[in-house]
Amino acid sequence: MARQYLIEPVGVGAPADVAAAMCGAHAQILSAAELSIGLRIAGADREVVRRALWEDRTLVKTFGPRGTVHLLPAVDLPMWTGALSGLASSTPARPDPVRFTTEQTEEVLAAIGDALAGSELTVDELTEAIVDRVGAWAGERTMDAFQDKWPRWRQLTSSAAHRGVLCFGPVRGRRVTYTHPRRWLPGFSPEGAEKALHNLVRGYLYAYGPATPAHLAKWLNIPVRSAIDLLAASEAVHLEGEQAWVNPGDTTTPDEGPRGVRLLPYFDAFVVAAQPRLRLFAGAAATRALAGGQAGNYPVVLVDGVVGGVWHQRRAGSRLALTVELLCDLTPSQRKALDDQVGLVGAVTQANPTLTLGPVKVGPHA
């Protein structure tokens, strides 16, 4: 928690530093990423994160670990693309007639890079550009997605990002755009896979170690055997009787556990990656705050470093109604800390918050 600025926030103006400390901020819901980063920066609001992303370009929105949308530090994008392109694809296998052959995959990825080299394109515009370059087969609407059919090429969106030929551009109205990282970040080039993977694993262990191969494999969505190989240069320690790994020499621990209350949004990186999960989601939290064993589907209340509740927010104009469902009793000081966290969420989201203690009646992702 200390290394991710959840004990003491970092100074204003460092969204990229925070994203680096978290090993990326999950941004499928961009407002959740803004809150994840903003609550770790003293005096910040969501505009600080937005400026870093769209104006200063010290952050980049792209597909990160597990093929999910993340905000990553722009300076680390060469490492991320070099590392992720050096791993087995995280794209699910598709049935005929959706999946591409190896040759078709390379052809489509080259077309994506060429189309985005000088443009910011919507999905429809990029589809047209790909079809113009390789043929109608790449744009056939055969890919099941959200009760719709998507063009076949979209199965390669995260692969294109990992290869370093695609990232998100600014939203055009309500439509997402993609562009080429070299256009977004002049001089960009992916690192070599070996160096990049070494640096990525070091960053992961610094943030989340001690970690077992199973922990790393889950975070990257790779086979455990591959994770064992990636940890070969790390130092083995014992974690509750189980062998785990840390960066060489990083074996000291705090004298006391964390204290206080924190409100973390959907898919906050700490919740998704911290292990052992049963230690973080102890007791009632294992069933209430996880969805089929998956972390991040519910915003959570951390109480002294473990999940002690879930929460939900509903915005109407400048008003933000927070409902907090506690799974444990709070001391008077913890209750005050919860009020402070509600105020912090309001400050980051630029809203006037109110707090209701009671059951959260909506499901995950609501």
Q: 150-168, pLDDT tens digit by residue?
A: 899 999 999 999 999 999 9
Does 217 reside within a domain? no
Does 332 reside within a domain? yes
Q: Nearest-CA neighbor of 82 among 187, 186, 200, 184?
A: 200
Residue whose tokens read 């109604």: 321
Q: Are 46 and 350 in contact (CB under 8 A)?
A: yes
CA triple 297-17-185, angle to 5 deg: 95
Does 255 reside within a domain? no
- Rounded mean pLDDT of 171-182? 94
What per-residue confidence (pLDDT) applies to 96?
Answer: 76
Residue whose tokens read 């990525």: 200
High-pLDDT (> 70) share of the chain, %: 99
Does 316 reside within a domain? yes
Task: Say if residue 99's pLDDT is above 80.
Answer: yes
What per-residue confidence (pLDDT) applies to 88?
Answer: 81
Does 9 reside within a domain? no
Does 265 reside within a domain? yes
Does 158 reside within a domain? no
Taking the C-alpha atoms of residue 310 and residue 119, their distance in angstroms, rounded to an integer, is 42
Q: How many domains does the chain have?
A: 1
Does 306 reside within a domain? yes
The string of pLDDT tens digits covering residues 51-73 is: 999 999 999 999 999 999 999 99
- Rounded mean pLDDT of 32-49? 96
Domain extent for 314:
261-357
Q: In what order do the strands lie in the sheet with 175-179?
A: 121-122, 175-179, 167-172
Give the helix/strand (H/E) hosting 59. strand 59-63
Task: Say if residue 25's pLDDT is above 70.
Answer: yes
Task: Say if residue 13's pLDDT is above 80.
Answer: no
- Rounded mean pLDDT of 115-141? 95
Q: How many CB atoms lie within 10 A of CB 157?
A: 19
What per-residue confidence (pLDDT) applies to 239?
Answer: 83
What per-residue confidence (pLDDT) applies to 89?
Answer: 75
Taking the C-alpha atoms of residue 269 and residue 134, their distance in angstroms, rounded to an integer, is 38
